[in-house]
Amino acid sequence: SQTIHQWPATLVQPVGSPLSLECTVEGTSNPNLYWYRQAAGRGLQLLFYSVGIGQISSEVPQNLSASRPQDRQFILSSKKLLLSDSGFYLCAWGLTGGVSSQPQHFGDGTRLSIL
């Protein structure tokens, strides 16, 4: 069966510090991978998605970036965090190839607090 791992679970960082969040998927090949952010009491905002190694699409302009160095690894990064980067970050995977009925599956999330 497929599993998705995301870490760390919580993170407290000072403004201006760098960030690296990692997500890995097991049990499937060539998944679509996604990074979302959820502000307190708000819906999920898609930040980045990837349909293959090295292929990254950015959905919103911001000071975050994403990379996919391996098929089942997705990394969210920042060189300098802003206060507005606080939130709940979720990684998700889905099947590629237009299998519309298959849902995206989420990792447990990282709660990021910027001080």
Residue for token pair 């679509």: 32
Q: Which residues pair with 23 in a beta bridge?
A: 6, 74
* 1 contacts other proteins (rule: CB under 8 A): no
HSE, CB side, 13 Å, CA atoms: give it for residue 69: 7
Closer to other proteins by Cβ: residue 54 or 103: 103
Binds other proteins by CB under 8 A, chosen from 11, 22, 28, 44: 44
- In degrees, rounded to 5, the angle at the alpha carbon of residue 45 between the alpha carbons of residues 105 and 101 is 35
Binds other proteins by CB under 8 A, chosen from 51, 56, 71, 77: 51
* 54 contacts other proteins (rule: CB under 8 A): no
Binds other proteins by CB under 8 A, chosen from 74, 104, 112, 114: 104
Among positions 67-96, residues that touch other proteins (CB under 8 A) are 88, 90, 94, 96
Residues forming the site for other proteins (CB under 8 A): 32, 34, 36, 41-46, 49, 51, 59, 88, 90, 94, 96, 98, 100-101, 103-109, 111
